[in-house]
Amino acid sequence: MFSLVLISFPFLAALLVLMTRKAAVAKWMSLGFSLLQLALTLIFWHFHTAGGNSFSFFLPWLPEWGINIHFELDGISFLMVLLTNLLIPFIIYSGIYKTQRNEQLLYALILFTQFALNGVFGSRNAVLFYIFWEMALVPVFFILFLWGGERRQSVTLKFFIYTLFGSLFLMIAFIYLYFQTSVPHDFEYTSFLKTNLEPCNQMWVFWMLLMSFVIKIPLFPVHTWQPDTYTVAPYQGSMLLGGLMMKMGIYGLIRWVLPVIPEFSLQWGFWIVIFALTGLIYFSVIALQQQNFKMLIAFSSLAHAGLMGAAVFSLNEYGLQGVLFQCFSHGILVVLLFYFAQLIEERTDTLILPRLGGIKTPAPVFSLLLLITILGSAGLPLTNGFIGEILMILGLFSFQVWSSILGVFTLVGGAIYLLYAYQRITLGETNPLTIGFQDITIREMVLVVPLVLLVIFFGFYPQPLLNLTEIPVRELISNAFSSH
């Protein structure tokens, strides 16, 4: 029951916010609700750790077709739910002092996205998962479409069609898997795990599932919707996309591909690792070329996603633990990076890196906090970015030594383009645009400082998060791959 409450609370909150008359009240109300949701999540975490309880909830919905409302939050799911519910208050807060049009709708849509994301991560029934998966797309589409920048119509349409196209493969694969379950057929996750597919059928189910998840992440070469969408989206939309929605794809791979089609994951893992690592290097190289800070964050995200995709298919404990940890770290870091971009744009009216420079002199605290975030993204030791990356590289090392060597390129490439960007933003001489750059204010610190502290805290002490995922990852690997 607790999992049902945890997952569906944001939906009720969204409805209440939508019905509010005053925009200011709606904003603060949505922040209050999201903080309440975070508190609920932390209480849940306490019980989860104390008793190892995954709070399964089962309610038959359309039992004749095997469609049930079935939620379960094991360590992997819970980590994602924790990330979602941790970041949403910050995403809401990032825009709370801005005046935007139709704010009731905007904040209701953010809470609605939270509901859908929690549902995606908690569902244990394929149809339920699919419904939440599609549902997550709708609020983000409207956030981009209604509050986005220039060219938003064409970019949003491309994003929507691209990701919807991916989702259709997911539906076909699920329907096929449904008919492979034992009679009476059902859509339950556990039934999907027991299916015994013919090798030739495994192949196309695998590719269909892979396609839908890989587009969502996205990995090379189905990524073209991402840089434009991140850039055109309003900041809160970019944070939702980069911080949270990208993790849906990674989660999908870990939950619905590896354990359901293990033989083919083993057989094709090698090639997917090659593709993902090619993407990693490709994006790292391209990131250096970017003049727009938001675009640079987009390509940096794509490069990190490349390493995550590769590590998923390293198919070992290090790799998977690393991916999950990195999902958490990357979420925090990308929200911070987008927030810094927002502050820079608000103060200077530009994000073009060559036009910036010298911010360090008028804004030393801002520059320091940005530096910590950038070093975290570049995977410097004692930041949370390092833990995930080192575990993923360890995973790739156990898989194939050469892949870990390529994987290290995220760290090297990241250091090059991120530090270069930092240099262009903060160092050098000030110019008329940056000379009066206001240092970070207390209001802004309310968002930045807690997240920066988390970056450092989990860099020093990653154990609480690793403990969450350790047992489920071990079980997943031993159940899926022990016989192969």
Partner 1 sequence: MLALTIWLTWVIFIKKSRFPVPDGKPIPFLQRLIYRRYFIDELYNILFVKPYEVISNLFYEKVEKGVIDRIVNGIGYLTFEAGIRIRRLQNGNASFYLFVMVAGALFFLLFNLMIH
Binding footprint of partner 1 on the chain (CB under 8 A): 158, 161-162, 221, 224-225, 282, 285-286, 288-290, 416
Quote the least distance from Cβ 223 to partner 1, whole Å: 8
Quote the least distance from Cβ 145 to partner 1, whole Å: 17
Our CB check for partner 1 shows the closer of 293 and 328 to be 293
Handedness of CA 197, 202, 206, 207 (dihedral sign): negative
Quote the least distance from Cβ 352 to partner 1, whole Å: 16
Rounded Cα gap, residues 248 and 241, in angstroms: 10
Quote the least distance from Cβ 286 to partner 1, whole Å: 5
Our CB check for partner 1 shows the closer of 193 and 416 to be 416
Our CB check for partner 1 shows the closer of 159 and 256 to be 159
Contact between residue 208 and residue 253 where contact means Cβ atoms under 8 Å apart: no
Quote the least distance from Cβ 166 to partner 1, whole Å: 13
Nearest to 124 by CA among 313, 261, 240, 251: 251
Our CB check for partner 1 shows the closer of 139 and 413 to be 413
Nearest to 143 by CA among 155, 129, 128, 131: 155
Our CB check for partner 1 shows the closer of 184 and 221 to be 221
Contact between residue 217 and residue 250 where contact means Cβ atoms under 8 Å apart: yes
DSSP assignment of 242-266, as one string? IIIIHHHHHHHIIIIITTTSHHHHH
Please give the span between the terminal C-alpha atoms of the chain, in angstroms, as a whole number.
37
For residue 76, give both structure tokens: 């992997």
HSE (CB half, 13 Å, CA atoms) of 244? 32
| 150 burial via Cβ count (<10 Å: 0-12, 13-18, 19+) | exposed
Quote the least distance from Cβ 365 to partner 1, whole Å: 32
Contact between residue 177 and residue 195 where contact means Cβ atoms under 8 Å apart: yes
Our CB check for partner 1 shows the closer of 290 and 403 to be 290
Quote the least distance from Cβ 354 to partner 1, whole Å: 14
Contact between residue 315 and residue 481 where contact means Cβ atoms under 8 Å apart: yes
Angle value at C-alpha 106, between 104 and 107, nearest 5 degrees: 70
Our CB check for partner 1 shows the closer of 23 and 288 to be 288
Quote the least distance from Cβ 432 to partner 1, whole Å: 28
Virtual torsion, Cα 335, 336, 340, 342, nearest 10 deg: 20
Rounded Cα gap, residues 181 and 443, in angstroms: 54
Quote the least distance from Cβ 212 to partner 1, whole Å: 16
Our CB check for partner 1 shows the closer of 239 and 280 to be 280
Rounded Cα gap, residues 173 and 195, in angstroms: 13
Angle value at C-alpha 79, between 372 and 387, nearest 5 degrees: 40
Our CB check for partner 1 shows the closer of 158 and 185 to be 158
